């Protein structure tokens, strides 16, 4: 077996604490960690580089990641495992309070992989965000670069600084996925398709904007493609976008084992080759929202959906 992983993910793993009038419940999460789990469920050799403490919550995170075959590489040991506390009011609206120490070693060590993925808090929260960008720059010489901004306004700070950080990583990336909500927060009043086209102009090979039950759109230099969402009974939307991201990367890895070939293929996706990738990712996201918690599909689950069969 090659020492080169399929995907390495650099970013936060944390415990979501959801508080409602009925009480509080804890479950593992963090966007980068979720993406790694989605990839692990699909059988990809995946490692997550994260800061996880040696405490009960940290051990719960390790168990959750290991159950999906994700290798965990430590990037320093915090005093306590990060948490994101969500308080849900009577209208169903949530307010968030984060407790996270994102201090990374310099340089942060990242194992070799065909795809390097990062995003969310890890790419905007000081002081570690600068180390994440430096790691992305190093990884780009040998790996396809993937990025999901997954904005967390409670930690991101002002939109001007956040936009600068996002655009710097977009310019490095081969694949960028963002939610329509993130695109609107970063560029108020600008249509999602125009945001996607601007990011391709900045340097991204493929930009995908997801918009829940409104579907998704993908833009390359050669095509603009819109894909409807897969109809499903929604139970829990947690992790839907991360499942989409992981499944999209899995589909891209099916194209070729060679990174240079992958990079060229991503940048030349068109009206024929892009839709199957997006439909498959949408099918995976639909499975996830039909389940409680972050519970993405396995490869077998996907093969039994109406989505196009994968080629490899």
Query: d(Cα 163, Cα 179) in Å, to the nearest integer?
Result: 15
Give pTM, 2 decimals.
Answer: 0.94
Of 47-61, 156-170, 229-243, the one with minimum mean pLDDT is 229-243
Q: What is the DSSP string of 221-249?
A: SS-EEEEPPPP---S--TTHHHHHHHHHH
- Could you please state the CATH topology (level 3) that the domain comprising 5-295 is classified under: 3.40.1190
Beta bridge partners of 246: none
Q: Which stretch, 1-10, 15-24, 145-154, has highest mean pLDDT?
A: 145-154
Residue 237 banded pLDDT, cuts 50, 70, 90: confident
Strands (E), the chain: 5-10, 14-20, 23-29, 46-50, 70-74, 83-88, 94-99, 113-119, 144-148, 175-179, 206-210, 216-219, 224-227
Flag whether pLDDT at 19 surpasses 80.
no
pLDDT in tens, 92-124: 556 778 999 999 999 999 999 999 999 999 999
H or E segment to which residue 155 belongs: helix 153-156
Residue 90 banded pLDDT, cuts 50, 70, 90: low
Token pair recorded at residue 69: 């075959």
- End-to-end CA separation in angstroms for the chain: 18
């Amino acid at each position: 077996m090659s020492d080169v992983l399929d995907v390495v993910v650099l970013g936060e793993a944390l415990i979501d604490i959801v508080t409602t009038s009925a009480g509080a419940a804890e479950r593992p999460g963090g966007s980068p960690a979720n993406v790694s789990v989605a990839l692990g469920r699909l059988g990809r050799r995946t490692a997550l580089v994260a800061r996880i403490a040696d405490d009960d919550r940290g051990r719960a995170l390790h168990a959750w990641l290991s159950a999906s075959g994700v290798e965990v590489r430590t990037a320093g040991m915090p005093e306590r495992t990060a948490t994101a506390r969500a308080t849900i009011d009577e209208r169903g609206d949530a307010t968030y309070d984060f407790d996270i120490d994102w201090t990374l070693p310099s340089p942060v060590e990242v194992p070799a992989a065909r795809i390097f993925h990062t995003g969310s808090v890890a790419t905007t929260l000081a002081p570690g965000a600068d180390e994440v960008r430096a790691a992305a720059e190093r990884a780009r010489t040998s790996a396809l670069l993937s990025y999901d901004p997954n904005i967390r306004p409670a930690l991101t700070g002002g939109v001007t600084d956040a936009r600068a950080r996002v655009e710097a990583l977009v310019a490095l990336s081969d694949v960028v996925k963002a939610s329509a909500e993130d695109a609107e927060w970063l560029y108020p009043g600008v249509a999602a398709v125009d945001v996607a086209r601007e990011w391709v102009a900045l340097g991204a090979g493929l930009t995908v904007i997801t918009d829940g039950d409104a579907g998704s759109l993908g833009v390359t230099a050669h095509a603009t493609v819109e894909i409807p969402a897969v109809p499903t009974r929604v139970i829990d939307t947690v992790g839907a976008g991360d499942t989409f991201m992981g499944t999209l990367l899995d589909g891209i890895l099916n194209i070729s084992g060679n990174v240079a070939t992958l990079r060229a293929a991503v940048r030349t996706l068109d009206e024929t080759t892009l839709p199957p990738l997006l439909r498959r990712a949408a099918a995976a996201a639909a499975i996830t929202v039909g389940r409680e918690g972050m519970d993405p599909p396995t490869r077998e689950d996907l093969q039994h959906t109406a989505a196009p069969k994968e080629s490899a």
